[in-house]
Structure 1
Amino acid sequence: MEVIIAPDHELATLVADAVERLLREESSPVLGLATGSSPLRVYDELARRHEQDKLSFAGARGFMLDEYVGLPISHPQCYRNVIDAEFVSRVDFGDAAVQGPNGAAEDLVAASAEYDHAIAEVGGIDLQILGIGTDGHIAFNEPGSSLCSRTRVKTLADQTRLDNARFFNGDVDQVPRHCLTQGLGTIREARHLMLIATGGNKAEAVHQMVEGPVSSMWPATVLQMHPHATILVDDAAASRLQLGDYYRQTYANKLDRQRL
């Protein structure tokens, strides 16, 4: 696990650099796309590079982390609509190149298995963008989630629904109680995980993820077991890290041959 502590805009640039390198080096790259506030600067930077530098996503595929269950597909907070507005419609992905779990399926168990199969069929995800919740969840894997879990139905924790109420006009009662989410085992199969966290409200979750014991009580700690996980945090989110100075020193003294 590599920890990078830098200002928010620099973190977004680093993730965008990794995505651009993948797009330019691979003929059929597969991206894992997160929703929420954490990756917005990354998507803005990638959209800028597409418009100004002709960075193309035409050969890429994308898979979303999760989707609400019970929202009509036309609802603006349906994650397929959110990711389209925030990113997909701003670049040149091919038709149907980006897909997410089907939260409107009649058989949610079958839809979950089909989603994992679709990821496997394209050879897995090359680079997965992640955020983290204040309770340590990644995707919608709430505390108590199995570290080997696959895409499945989950019940959202009250804290998660409170955190997401801002997207529903502040009304927590409008936030769905269930979702389909990639499992921690599914996420761990991506070849490179890049998690972004900013703000002091994420500090405890970041501390537990990076320096705490691996535990289902803090689901993001599963990233400690991944061979290529990059954690990108600003000073506020890093404020609880006991080894913060060491992480800064390590990043400042990387060898030239070392890359994200």
Structure 2
Amino acid sequence: MKVIILENEDQVAITSAKIISDQIKNKPNSVLGLATGSTPIKTYQQLIKMYQDKEISFKNITAFNLDEYKDIDPNNDQSYHYFMDHQLFNFIDINKNNCYIPNASFYNNPQQYDELIKKFNGIDLQLLGLGINGHIGFNEPNTSFDSLTQVVDLTQSTIKANSRFFDSIELVPTKAISMGLKSIMNAKKILLLATGINKADAIYHLIEDKVTPNWPCSILQNHNDVTIIIDKNAASKLTKKKAN
């Protein structure tokens, strides 16, 4: 596990975008695993700029999203389908036929999503955010480490955290479909981003504590190619010195 601690979220975005762009340059037909939420937005803005500056092209990229709310219309402005279009896909040359999100077509057999990923020989680079309770994707505490893509119930802490994107907490979906922890661990490389003091507990458990289902992110300690990029605030509870 490589840990990079930077001054602020802008530096996190620049550094993470370079890692993703290097992946694309080294393998133009890469399969990318993408995440939503507030953390990767600035990374996506950097990637859009790189595309506009003709540094990279996404035309041969395949993308798989981590998760999506259950029973939400793709055109709803809080759906992750809408998010990806308006934060990234609409501004780059990716073929949207090569962009996959675990939507309603996977509800009855969610693990078909894993089978689809296998048909593309797996994910080359998986981008992750981090929940305050240590969830990655929508894999809440005590999710099985052997879990594949599945429909999940969201915890109250996740619903509350996501309510800032909705007009009221009552409008926040209570279920989602998410790649499982085993699905995520199957990626060849993993890049996790976290910023802000509210992520400090989760970062501590991810990096320095024991591997436990109580903190789903801790399973990443068992992956052989993980890069964690965080700002100083997210790193504030780490006790061991890490290279900047």
Which TM-score applies when normalising by structure 2? 0.97
Aligned structure 1 segments of 4 or more residues deviating by more than 3 angstroms: none
Mapped to 1, the partners of 2:160 and 2:216 lie a distance apart of: 19
* 1:181 Cα offset (Å): 0.1
Of the three residues 131, 134, 141, the one matched with 1:133 is 131
Q: Deviations over 1:196-244 (max 9, x none)?
A: 000000000100111111011000000000000111110100000011x
Which secondary structure state, in structure 1, belongs to the residue aligned with residue 191 of structure 2?
strand
Mapped to 1, the partners of 2:209 and 2:90 lie a distance apart of: 39
Which secondary structure state, in structure 2, belongs to the residue aligned with residue 96 of structure 1?
helix
Bigger mean CA offset, 144-153 vs 20-29: 20-29
Letter in 2 for 1:4: I
Query: Counterparts of 1:231-250 in structure 2 under 5 Å?
Result: 231-243=228-240, 246-248=241-243
Identity of aligned residues (%): 36
Letter in 1 for 2:199: K
Q: How many residues align?
A: 243
In structure 2, the partner of 1:196 is 193
In structure 2, the partner of 1:63 is 64
Mapped to 2, the partners of 1:182 and 1:229 lie a distance apart of: 18
RMSD, matched Cα? 1.1
In structure 2, the partner of 1:225 is 222
Query: Counterparts of 1:146-165 in structure 2 under 5 Å?
Result: 146-165=144-163
Letter in 2 for 1:191: K
In structure 1, the partner of 2:75 is 74
Mapped to 1, the partners of 2:10 and 2:75 lie a distance apart of: 32
Which secondary structure state, in structure 1, belongs to the residue aligned with residue 190 of structure 2?
strand
8 Å contact kept, 1:101–1:181: yes
Letter in 1 for 2:25: R
Which secondary structure state, in structure 2, belongs to the residue aligned with residue 53 of structure 1?
coil
Mapped to 1, the partners of 2:98 and 2:147 lie a distance apart of: 25
In structure 2, the partner of 1:30 is 31
Consecutive unaligned residues in structure 1, runs of 5 or more: 252-260
Mapped to 2, the partners of 1:45 and 1:73 lie a distance apart of: 25
In structure 1, the partner of 2:107 is 108
* 1:109 Cα offset (Å): 3.4
In structure 1, the partner of 2:87 is 86
In structure 1, the partner of 2:22 is 21
8 Å contact kept, 2:48–2:88: yes
Which TM-score applies when normalising by structure 1? 0.91
8 Å contact kept, 1:109–1:152: no
Mapped to 2, the partners of 1:203 and 1:18 lie a distance apart of: 23
Mapped to 2, the partners of 1:27 and 1:183 lie a distance apart of: 26
8 Å contact kept, 1:109–1:153: no
Letter in 2 for 1:23: I
8 Å contact kept, 1:150–1:183: yes
Letter in 2 for 1:5: I
Letter in 1 for 2:46: E
